[in-house]
Amino acid sequence: MNNRTTQSSKSRKYEPILPKRKEWPVVQLSRQRKQFIHEVAQNSISKLQEVAPAVDLLVDELETTLYKEKYRIKENPWVVDPDDDYAFWSSVKKQLVEISNLQNDNHDQEAEQQAQLLLEEIVTRYANEIASNFRPSYYQFARTVVTFGFARLLNASRVKGLGSLFSNQYSLQDKIKITGEIDHLRNLAQHGTIVMVPTHFSNLDSILIGWVINELGLPPFIYGAGLNLFNIGIFSYFMNSLGAYKVDRRKKNAIYIETLKAYSSLAMQWGIHSLFFPGGTRSRSGRIEDKLKLGLLGTAMEAQRIDYIRSQETGEPAEKIFVFPVVLNYHFVLEAPSLIREHLRREGQERYYIEADEYSQSAKIVKFLLKFFRKGSDISVSIGRGMDLLGNYVDDEGHSLDKQDRPISMREYFCTGEKITRDEQRESEYTQMLGEAILREYYRINQVFSSHLVAFVAFELIQKQHSSLDLFNLLRLPEEDLIIPYSLFREHCERVRQQVFELHQQDKVDIADHLSKPIDEVIDHGLSNVGMYHSRRPLIKNKAGNIETPDINTLYYYHNRLLGYNLHRIIHHQEKSLVSVAE
């Protein structure tokens, strides 16, 4: 269906679509921060009152919140926590005792009033904790520092001599390639509100996406960042400057979660572009997400319905929300060894035994960046086609299209009869449909790198050679049992590559330019890049010219990047007719 031409940002300068900072929606939020927080709190309270309409239910919710917060303060305190945290929740406890006494004395009305006031106090505190402190001047400075710093690192590692610090020989565009629906994204950012939903592999993702947004001339996006990252002063400064709001994953109570969702929904209602990592956290297994957390996507659905209701009441056009899937493509991920250990520990439980890895405990991000730039390994950022909130593709004017590219009305999907209505069950189903569409787009725009290819083939061949072993016994094999003859490896790399080319022709996956080089060059390129920074390389060519696996766990992580395309059948069932689909 999608026969659009893939674009690349290389050697192209994108002018800002909103050159004046005062026009940025996020600036409007920062100027009206108090009003915004008040509306967030009121919206949260309204939702919570629907869930707990009776005073007994509300008190139960408040007591549950108190219990969980006291446990958090005692068992998992952070430096970034407010100084008055303990005092505040001690006050909440006293107020709940007073409310309980009022109930026991049959003063139900007064008890309800006190409970409502306490709910408002907690929600307002949460809303203030979550809210970002975006300042345009700080944003400009942070953006300059990130761009300058990255460029200096690049040239210092690639250009010899003291002049490297001031050299402009290499730019970030040479290193980080942005491909896909660039103009489409820029067009729709002027027609509605963008929700960007990237894959999540590394802690570098937020920095990378922030640079991409700026590079494409888009106004600042807001995004949720883990509160733990605000423990570090310099990180706190940059994330506040770049529009991050705080997400405290320790807080599992319904009141906090509802406040966080209200923040996200209202921001979109105000027309502020947002960024979610719908996988929730970094991929532990190394594969592209195959399941999404839909909570924040649901807030986009709510915001769209509210905009349609407002349009119905005022007669003004509704602001449409557009979703853009984005896939981040790395040859290697700094945290891969620790991530795959965590994945295997979850999956294998007692069958998997963790070995010490001093490297993963002592890695330094600056050292990593220097190594990354020196090695010349590339990153690509693949931007998918824009969708509406039902997962339909949209054209450059934002009109929703069916599978035959015919225009359809998004508004009608929120109607009962002729009227826009709230139906949470219906919207939950729509959100599920959107999640499935995002996953399909991830696999379609994923760029296959040489490192992905060699890791996939090597692990599958090892698995085939030891087909009687389950995964966890396979991962315990000694290194001498993990050697693959080069001729066999080369043959299967070519077979899998040809199948990738076929999938690419069917618009079911994307490929990096280097994948089209002669197969021996592709293999050498993949071997030199896969896991290049790890103390134990997952894949090497030994002195005899054969392929060895010094670290099969990390090899498994990189192998997983090509799961979902049925490519394993190339190696395990060569004799069968193959029809591979990316699902």
Q: What is the pLDDT of residues 195-217, one digit of tens each?
A: 999 999 987 788 788 889 988 99
Q: Where is the domain boundary, 130, 154, 176? A: 130
Unique residue bearing structure tokens 């629907």: 50
Helix or strand (DSSP H, E) at 401: strand 400-401
Position 72 in a domain: yes
The torsion angles phi and psi of 457, rounded to 5 degrees, stand at -65, -45
Q: Where is the domain boundary, 107, 130, 153? A: 130
Pair 96, 118: CB distance under 8 Å: yes
Can you tell me the distance from the alpha carbon of 467 to that of 495, in angstroms, rounded to the nearest whole number? Answer: 20
Position 39 in a domain: yes
Question: How many percent of the chain have pLDDT more than 90?
Answer: 64
Pair 206, 56: CB distance under 8 Å: no
Q: Determine the pLDDT at residue 549.
A: 95
Can you tell me the distance from the alpha carbon of 210 to that of 223, in angstroms, rounded to the nearest whole number? Answer: 10
Q: How many domains does the chain have?
A: 2
Pair 111, 54: CB distance under 8 Å: no
Q: Where is the domain boundary, 130, 147, 162? A: 130
Q: Determine the pLDDT at residue 411.
A: 92
Position 382 in a domain: no
Q: Are strands 7-8 and 176-180 parallel, antiparallel or unpaired?
A: antiparallel
User: Beta-strand (E) ranges in 156-234?
Assistant: 176-180, 192-198, 222-226
Count the Cβ atoms, other than its own, within 10 Å of residue 366.
9
Indicate the pTM of the whole model. Answer: 0.88
Pair 55, 255: CB distance under 8 Å: no
Please give the mean pLDDT across all residues of the chain. Answer: 86
Summarised one tens digit per residue, pLDDT across range 51-98 is: 899 999 999 999 999 999 999 999 999 888 999 999 999 999 999 999
**CB neighbour list of residue 136: distance below 8 Å, 6 or more residues apart:** 21, 24, 27, 30
CA angle 40, 41, 46 (to 5 degrees): 100
Residue 520 has pLDDT above 80, yes or no: yes
Position 314 in a domain: no
Position 455 in a domain: yes
Count the Cβ atoms, other than its own, within 10 Å of residue 347.
13
Count the Cβ atoms, other than its own, within 10 Å of residue 383.
24
Give CA 384 to chain center in angstroms. 14
Residue 580 has pLDDT above 90, yes or no: no
Q: Determine the pLDDT at residue 360.
A: 34
Helix or strand (DSSP H, E) at 4: none
Summarised one tens digit per residue, pLDDT across range 224-260 is: 877 776 765 656 666 766 778 888 989 999 999 999 9
Position 184 in a domain: no
Summarised one tens digit per residue, pLDDT across range 454-508 is: 999 999 999 999 999 999 999 999 989 999 999 999 999 999 999 999 999 999 9
Position 429 in a domain: no
Summarised one tens digit per residue, pLDDT across range 10-51 is: 657 899 999 888 889 888 888 899 999 999 999 999 999 998
Question: Closest by alpha carbon to 474, among 330, 579, 351?
Answer: 351
Position 153 in a domain: no
Unique residue bearing structure tokens 């050498």: 524
The sign of the CA dihedral 303, 304, 309, 313 is: positive
For the chain, the first-to-last Cα distance in angstroms comes to 16
Domain membership of residue 71 as a residue range: 34-130
